Structure 1
Amino acid sequence: MFGCPIREGARVHPEAEALTYAGHSWSYGALDAEVNRWVAALEARGIGAGQRVALLSTNQPACVFLFWALGRLGALLAPLNARLTRAELAPLVEDIAPALTLAMGALRDRLPGAESLETFASSSTSTICGSLTEDSARVVLFTSGTTGRPKGAVLTEGNFRASCRASAENLGSHPAPRWLGTLPLFHVGGLAMLTRTSYEGGCLVLHERFDADATSRAIDEGVTHVSLVATTLERVLDVRAGHRVPETFKLALIGGGPVPVFLLERARAVGLLALQTYGLTEACSQVTTESPAEADGKTAGRPLPGTQVRIVGDDGEARGPGEEGNIEVRGPTVMAGYWNRPDATREAFRDGWLHTKDLGALDARGRLTVLSRRTDLIVRGGENIYPAEVEAVLANHPSVQEAAVIGVPDARWGEVPVAFLAPRTGQPRPDAQGLETWCRESLAGFKLPTRFVWVDTLPRNAMGKLERTALRKVLTEG
């Protein structure tokens, strides 16, 4: 049985800092008192075990208060993507049938009937703090929906605690970590930082959104850990302009795909340890992560302690080291299932293994290389082309900020790759011949893009994932 880590922190180290936001700070004692007010407000509305509360908000302290208050009542949080439109949100709310819907004022028009998040807390308090088990459901997190209608992954108290333990074992213990929270709290990465700091007695340094200047200042002011993607890492390095990070800063986790070699070298030059990682909502964030002792930027690292990863063929048979196939995951961080989607849940699991729909390979040391999502795989004349491989080559070109490769129909080959490129500021744009020559140095001829399309930026959703469907529209509408 587990109690609330905020209540425990208020008992053991009440003056320790637990949360900061926009110049405000809450100790564990103050945060516990604030959560008590939210518990009272939820009780007054009849919220109890198993009920769902939908939330539409950017990163705000109230989101933190609500998350811990719901845990004390055994209720579930269903945080919704703050970038979605009213039409996109409607089916998600219908799916979870919330007993209560809350939204920050600027977003309330997108959720009919939503109550104000800012004014919800009660003036009275409640000291109720129920216990949770490994299987107690905590959140319903909707997948990004880039390949269809989003599904709600149900993550449990056991999932979050196992993820925290495994990450700490891999990264190394810290007496009081200070995680910079720029990832949205409707994303598994944001919630992983929220829970991790509380379980470890640390502090969540919450920002409403990512800002390169603010992130750089936070690093100088004592943040120990941060989660970024390659593009945001580069923006932070640009801001720092060669200024070394202080010794108080330990590391950055880099998700969202491979990181260009030159970018890792830039990070190392200023003392910033950047570890590549692979994860997904259904496995409560990290699945594999480089370890600080052997990080070389060549892979997404080994499975976290307690997590198993295997590569299997379409026939379900395990593949050996270096052989490509489907990535499957098993362990205590894997979700309980999809909310009210028994068919989708059965499809997602095979003999207890989560079928990720991602393609990859494990090397002889057990390190994972992620090649592609199954739905992104390009088959050209019977040959498989993994977009990530081509994108990594293009992203290392000095004139390319970032790259994305998609497959488009072709009468002769079935499918051919097309590359979209965002330019690097201050660098000349090479022509198609120059880009093709660059690619030929690292790629077989059949993998070469048939077109190179320059765009200002690549479209990404709120989780930082590339929206390939939007790129296909560029071709069809152009």
Structure 2
Amino acid sequence: MADNPGRLPCPIREGAERHPDAQALTFAGSAWTYRTLDVEVGRWVKSLEDRGIRAGERVALLATNHVASVCLFWALGRLGAVLAPLNARLTRAELSPMVEDIEPRLTLALGALIDRLPSAERLESFITTSTASSPQCASLAEDTPRVILFTSGTTGRPKGAVITEGNFRASCKASASNLGEHPAPRWLGTLPLFHVGGLAMLTRTAYEAGCLILHERFDADAVNRAIDSEGVSHASLVATTLERVLDARGDRRVPPTFQLALIGGGPVPVPLLERARAAGLLALQTYGLTEACSQVTTERPTDADGRTAGPPLPGMSIRIVGEDGSARGPGEEGDIEVRGPTVMAGYWRRPDATRDVLRDGWLRTKDVGVLDTRGRLTVLSRRTDLIVRGGENLYPAEIEAVLLNHPAVQEAAVVGIPDARWGEVPVAFLALRAGQPTPTAEALDAWCRQSLAGFKCPARFSWVDALPRNAMGKLERTVLRQRASADVKG
């Protein structure tokens, strides 16, 4: 793709030269060809240059999906600068330490979100209609950082995964090799651009000379309209959104222009996958993570039964290891480790965390899984304590820290329980502090929402005399999960 070996050009500029009239992006009723998008990205480059943004500097962004986010991403690439997209669902208190960690040269936010980042400038008005288009378009080395994506560890402290240009390119190549070449794919972009899945759609369409059908947020009726009338060929969903799309479709089958949907965010119920295929919608299970630039394994379109997350993508390797680090054979459970060109460069300013997770070329995911005799992966646990709610990762330690700040709470533990709509929801077990009145569930929910995004707040609060612990004083979460499940059944 690049004329200069080892250097990678901007795919929007390349598209403007090779297929200028091909559609590159649609959003909110407007459309951009590669030619017009190239000009628009150049205007963003000019504004960033005028603000002194140079190679290696960071720009923080708080936004839902928007055309300005797309232009900013490609413009920063032309300057060799780094985008740090922040989760638009987080509170001001949650965002603050991330911004401090990034130390951005510039902070931008959509007007509707700007109150959460007081130092931010308004994204929509960052460039003006009179801004000229800069021709600056640096080619990038494969190891050039492109984004810093925050992903919480089990301690709840945010870590910024540094994803490079080479990571994005390798992810695109591996996915295309698995799914099959398409002359001009039209990917439906409902995943947020502050998640690795959303950025994978953005980059993949550009590298493959396709078009991103970008939606501000997920809406089942809008998704079905796009599938039926906008020629969407590919989509990425999670189980809950797939179910909502099928509910909204009723008995209508998908048109032949729609090839397949990738389903991430955790295991998908087999009946749901079968229901999708009955409607003509081929849904492929995947396993991925931010640190590996989205997909690691995916079912093959010609060999998908919904029983596993599929084999590793071409160019990727998976192994299952025991606690002693030795490799496990087919059918033996253990920790999932990943190796390949999509694996991140490391965690931003966290050398100890980077050394802990990247060893001898292998990414230690700390997820638990098993490979079958055909090399297909089944994920058994998204880390021991992780809760996956509708595709969003929730970490108990973060929620527990908020609850423990309440004056009436002596002890707190959060576990996940199965939920028909969201996959899992968090449930909190609390021990009352002596001499304090017992808060109501409504009061505890309000307390949590002061510091946590709504999707992180517990679905239920249960009071106990004391939390169960083993002889070593370690919290027995399994006991709590069993108790929570029994309470639901009861």
TM (norm. structure 2) is 0.79
Aligned counterparts of 2:155 and 2:189: Cα–Cα separation in 1: 27
Structure 1: which 5+ runs fail to align? 378-386, 392-403, 407-414, 425-460
Instruction: Return the match for 2:339 from 315, 327, 330.
Output: 330
Alpha-carbon distance change, 419 to 46 in structure 1, aligned in 2, over 3 angstroms: closer
Match for residue 127 of structure 1? 135
Alignment of 1:121-200 (within 5 A): 121-122=127-128, 123-144=131-152, 147-200=155-208
Aligned counterparts of 1:184 and 1:192: Cα–Cα separation in 2: 10
Q: Deviations over 1:174-206 (max 9, x none)?
A: 000000000000000000000000000000000
Correspondence 1:9 to 2:15: yes
Give the letter aligned to residue 89 of structure 1: L
Correspondence 1:212 to 2:199: no
Give the letter aligned to residue 301 of structure 1: G
Aligned counterparts of 1:109 and 1:476: Cα–Cα separation in 2: 35
Aligned counterparts of 1:52 and 1:321: Cα–Cα separation in 2: 44
Alpha-carbon distance change, 416 to 46 in structure 1, aligned in 2, over 3 angstroms: closer
Match for residue 457 of structure 1? none
Alignment of 1:217-296 (within 5 A): 217-221=225-229, 222-296=231-305
Aligned counterparts of 2:418 and 2:344: Cα–Cα separation in 1: 34
| CA apart distance, 1:132 | 0.1
Correspondence 1:298 to 2:296: no
| CA apart distance, 1:421 | 3.4
Alpha-carbon distance change, 416 to 81 in structure 1, aligned in 2, over 3 angstroms: closer
Match for residue 381 of structure 2? 372
Correspondence 1:348 to 2:354: no
Match for residue 475 of structure 2? none
Give 4+ residue runs of structure 1 displaced > 6 Å after superposition: 415-418
| CA apart distance, 1:22 | 1.1
Alpha-carbon distance change, 140 to 249 in structure 1, aligned in 2, over 3 angstroms: same
Q: Deviations over 1:371-409 (max 9, x none)?
A: 0033328xxxxxxxxx99xx9xxxxxxxxxxxx9x9xxx
Give the letter aligned to residue 209 of structure 2: G
Aligned counterparts of 1:341 and 1:416: Cα–Cα separation in 2: 27
| CA apart distance, 1:113 | 1.5
Alpha-carbon distance change, 251 to 333 in structure 1, aligned in 2, over 3 angstroms: same
Aligned counterparts of 1:144 and 1:269: Cα–Cα separation in 2: 37
Instruction: Return the match for 2:97 from 91, 103, 108.
Output: 91
| CA apart distance, 1:260 | 1.3
- CA RMSD, Structure 1 to Structure 2 (Å): 2.6
Instruction: Return the match for 1:421 from 399, 419, 422.
Output: 419
Report if the CA contact (8 A) 2:143-2:166 is conserved: yes
- Give the match's secondary structure for 2:461: helix
Q: Deviations over 1:3-34 (max 9, x none)?
A: 10000000011110000001100000000000
Alignment of 1:452-467 (within 5 A): none
Instruction: Return the match for 1:32 from 38, 61, 69.
Output: 38
Alpha-carbon distance change, 136 to 338 in structure 1, aligned in 2, over 3 angstroms: same
Instruction: Return the match for 1:106 from 107, 112, 117.
Output: 112
Q: How high is the sequence identity, in percent, across the aligned residues?
A: 72
| CA apart distance, 1:256 | 1.2
Q: Deviations over 1:400-447 (max 9, x none)?
A: xxxx9x9xxxxxxxx9998443479xxxxxxxxxxxxxxxxxxxxxxx
Alpha-carbon distance change, 129 to 326 in structure 1, aligned in 2, over 3 angstroms: same
Give the letter aligned to residue 383 of structure 2: R
Alpha-carbon distance change, 420 to 362 in structure 1, aligned in 2, over 3 angstroms: closer
Alignment of 1:383-422 (within 5 A): 419-422=417-420
- Give the match's secondary structure for 1:95: helix
Aligned counterparts of 2:270 and 2:205: Cα–Cα separation in 1: 30
Match for residue 62 of structure 1? 68
Give the letter aligned to residue 347 of structure 1: D
Q: Deviations over 1:215-251 (max 9, x none)?
A: 0111112100000111111110011112110000000
| CA apart distance, 1:470 | 4.2
Report if the CA contact (8 A) 2:154-2:385 is conserved: no
Aligned counterparts of 1:476 and 1:96: Cα–Cα separation in 2: 39
Match for residue 475 of structure 1? 462
Aligned counterparts of 2:461 and 2:260: Cα–Cα separation in 1: 37
Alpha-carbon distance change, 420 to 174 in structure 1, aligned in 2, over 3 angstroms: closer
Aligned counterparts of 2:415 and 2:345: Cα–Cα separation in 1: 37
Q: Deviations over 1:28-73 (max 9, x none)?
A: 0000000010000000000000000000000000000000000000
Report if the CA contact (8 A) 2:85-2:193 is conserved: yes
| CA apart distance, 1:475 | 3.0
- Give the match's secondary structure for 1:294: coil
Aligned counterparts of 2:155 and 2:379: Cα–Cα separation in 1: 18
Report if the CA contact (8 A) 2:240-2:421 is conserved: no
Give the letter aligned to residue 20 of structure 2: P
Match for residue 48 of structure 2? 42
Give the letter aligned to residue 101 of structure 1: T
Give the letter aligned to residue 132 of structure 1: L
Aligned counterparts of 1:142 and 1:374: Cα–Cα separation in 2: 17
| CA apart distance, 1:147 | 4.8
Aligned counterparts of 1:155 and 1:475: Cα–Cα separation in 2: 40
Aligned counterparts of 2:193 and 2:65: Cα–Cα separation in 1: 6
- Give the match's secondary structure for 2:48: helix
Give the letter aligned to residue 82 of structure 2: L
Match for residue 476 of structure 2? none
TM (norm. structure 1) is 0.81
Alpha-carbon distance change, 262 to 306 in structure 1, aligned in 2, over 3 angstroms: same
Give the letter aligned to residue 344 of structure 2: M
Aligned counterparts of 1:237 and 1:147: Cα–Cα separation in 2: 37
Aligned counterparts of 1:336 and 1:268: Cα–Cα separation in 2: 38
